[in-house]
Chains A and B, each alone.
Chain A
């Protein structure tokens, strides 16, 4: 998988690069709109992660040009401008997703995987989690054809952990994933623990749910062979 990171803030593009490389992506980096434009038209990418606040180039313009030229890379617009119109403009111009800075790298990866699933049809739409089967399309988890009644948030948490299996996910990362868009006061609480507790209980009614491991003081990890 080839990814082009278009980001003028070098420290940021570096962190994204480190993360995605570890996830097995092949990363290319452009710090200016000009070089990004050249790279997009010369190379073939699966993903273009594009900051639209580039100093030398309007990111939307680049997106438009690339889309018009029929480049089939998936575009994810990254912005820190905090403008509401940016999201709408980006999606209107054919961007596949939109992420407002600051975003979690795990969130970025989850979005990329969601795009991959969308692009490559419905073939690989279930995830096997030990004895459980997660159907992403229908948003259900079942055990031996018994559908387990999970709440929306419980499903989201399990899905997020499954996407990042064998990796510690901190409470903050989980909280941001399920409450990220909500602007409210009482946010940094231990509600995640309550959700995990309920989730474990519901899974344990059917089979062993020890694969959801508590990493003391830090967060949770979904262990998979």
Chain B
């Protein structure tokens, strides 16, 4: 699970399983809570009816046979229990007149019967007999019913737990199967796609409407991206043609005019200046097209290159410039690194531009150091110079197109480092720069080691 924002995103299958478990727990829990109450209500109702019937019977017995019919003891009271203390009848004389004379009351009370505390539901009524007030109570034990309720409660809890566990288990499995097409879509249509041109629009097999919808939408989106890339590609070709053709005409015309006999020196000089300007324009257009083509993925990555040899080649190519500025060069590789698959010519241009940049900004008798260090996951190439450095406020912008921080040199056009950046991005190389003004600049390139 990856941290996103402030919470951990859960897998959908886990969420579904949890949601199902919780909703089932709520439903079963609610049933478990309500059923004992309902059962109790029904049971009490039955008990109450039974108690009333018995009371009627007792009262009839008293009216017909008098209290004598029931054998009263010395203090004129009568108690009768069945063996299990589940039912009892008692008649006892009352000393005063109760306010609710003649009214029947039902309550649950605990009675001490022969040293046992037994919970009873008791129906009581006062009545007058022989000018004496008596109270008759008819009770029925509640222990059986409480037991029943307990049993139901325990049973409910067990069922609840079992159902929740089973539900989570089944839901996880089901959701997993259900989400298989989703993972396939993500892997095949998004993760594995390096470039729109390699996109495979074959529909992913799924019986879920939403996934089919997602698949279709991704296909449509990719189709649009593909089209955009194609349009961009054609645009680059057209721009190339439309810009480079007039430049071509001018360049060749200037070349022809320069060679005309009888041209004054002044005009000749101006023509040569025009040639320089035109050459600069050509460079800019070519550099822009180059960057566009790299960004539009028009280069193959099918070669391998030895970084050590490449650096040697670049340094040889730059030998005269290095010599002219009396720059000391040191190259130090702890091992060679064969990088690939890559585009050799692009990697060459990448290193060449960094070295060229280093030479340009290094003072006379300065030093340029190239080091290659092999690490666990990457090969670290550093190109350090003892040049003028880059102020920290400029560092974030050095790879932006047409940003020139040294206006005094009229020759650069601010596309050397953007080319570096686009090649690094194209090859997914990490590119870092640190610099100290007046001390020098370090360019770091990290080449991933295959399998990492």
| Chain A residues within 8 Å of B, Cβ to Cβ | 9, 11-12, 15-16, 18-19, 22, 53, 80-84, 100-106, 151, 153, 167-168, 170-173, 175-176, 182-189, 191, 194-195, 198, 217-219
B360 pairs with A186, CB closer than 8 A: yes
* 8 Å CB contact of B249 from A11, A176, A194, A198: A11
Q: Once the chains are docked, how many angstroms separate the CA of A101 from the CA of B285?
A: 12
Closest to A83 in B: B237
B90 CB contacts on chain A under 8 angstroms: none
Contacts A19-B252, A191-B321, A194-B320; A185 near B275 (Cβ below 8 A): no
Chain B 310-325: CB-based contact to A (< 8 A → 1; otherwise 0): 0000000101110010
* 8 Å CB contact of A82 from B244, B252, B317: B244
* 8 Å CB contact of A185 from B245, B259, B282, B357: B357
* 8 Å CB contact of A84 from B248, B286, B293, B319: B293
Chain B 199-241: CB-based contact to A (< 8 A → 1; otherwise 0): 0000000000000000000000000000000000000110011
A100 CB contacts on chain B under 8 angstroms: 244
B299 CB contacts on chain A under 8 angstroms: 84
B249 pairs with A9, CB closer than 8 A: yes
B:278-333 near A, CB below 8 Å: 279-280, 282-283, 286-287, 289-290, 293, 298-299, 317, 319-321, 324
Identify the 8 closest CB pairs spanning chains A and B, nearest first.
Answer: A185-B416, A82-B240, A102-B248, A15-B252, A80-B244, A101-B248, A102-B251, A186-B360
5 contacts between A and B (CB under 8 A): A22-B259, A102-B252, A182-B349, A183-B419, A185-B415
Is residue B164 contacting chain A, with contact meaning CB distance below 8 A?
no
B101 to chain A, nearest CB (A): 114
Q: Once the chains are docked, how many angstroms separate the CA of A82 from the CA of B235?
A: 11
Main secondary structure of the interface of B (DSSP, over half): helix
Q: Once the chains are docked, how many angstroms separate the CA of A167 from the CA of B255?
A: 11
Interface size on B, residues (CB 8 A): 52
A171 CB contacts on chain B under 8 angstroms: 272, 276
B249 to chain A, nearest CB (A): 5
B353 pairs with A188, CB closer than 8 A: no
B258 CB contacts on chain A under 8 angstroms: 168, 170, 218
| Chain B residues within 8 Å of A, Cβ to Cβ | 236-237, 240-241, 244-245, 247-249, 251-253, 255-256, 258-259, 265, 268-269, 272, 275-276, 279-280, 282-283, 286-287, 289-290, 293, 298-299, 317, 319-321, 324, 349, 352-353, 356-357, 359-360, 411-413, 415-417, 419
B353 pairs with A184, CB closer than 8 A: yes
A102 pairs with B282, CB closer than 8 A: yes
* 8 Å CB contact of A102 from B247, B276, B353: B247
* 8 Å CB contact of B256 from A80, A105, A187: A105
Closest to A104 in B: B255
Q: Once the chains are docked, how many angstroms separate the CA of A53 from the CA of B234?
A: 13
Closest to A192 in B: B320
* 8 Å CB contact of A172 from B248, B276, B352: B276
Given contacts A22-B259, A80-B244, A80-B245, 17 further A-B contacts (CB under 8 A): A11-B249, A12-B248, A82-B237, A105-B252, A105-B255, A167-B259, A170-B272, A172-B276, A182-B352, A183-B287, A185-B412, A186-B321, A189-B411, A191-B324, A198-B320, A217-B272, A218-B269
Q: Once the chains are docked, how many angstroms separate the CA of A16 from the CA of B324?
A: 37
B265 CB contacts on chain A under 8 angstroms: 217
A213 to chain B, nearest CB (A): 15
B240 CB contacts on chain A under 8 angstroms: 80-83
Closest to A217 in B: B269
* 8 Å CB contact of A186 from B282, B286, B319, B411: B411
A16 CB contacts on chain B under 8 angstroms: 252
B298 to chain A, nearest CB (A): 6
A134 to chain B, nearest CB (A): 21
A218 pairs with B411, CB closer than 8 A: no
A11 CB contacts on chain B under 8 angstroms: 249, 253
B255 pairs with A173, CB closer than 8 A: yes
Q: Once the chains are docked, how many angstroms separate the CA of A77 from the CA of B352?
A: 28
B237 CB contacts on chain A under 8 angstroms: 81-83
Q: Once the chains are docked, how many angstroms separate the CA of A218 from the CA of B264?
A: 12
B256 pairs with A184, CB closer than 8 A: no
B359 pairs with A186, CB closer than 8 A: yes
A25 to chain B, nearest CB (A): 14
A172 pairs with B275, CB closer than 8 A: yes
A108 to chain B, nearest CB (A): 9
Q: Once the chains are docked, how many angstroms separate the CA of A153 from the CA of B241?
A: 31
Q: Once the chains are docked, how many angstroms separate the CA of A170 from the CA of B194?
A: 46
A22 CB contacts on chain B under 8 angstroms: 259
B286 CB contacts on chain A under 8 angstroms: 82, 183
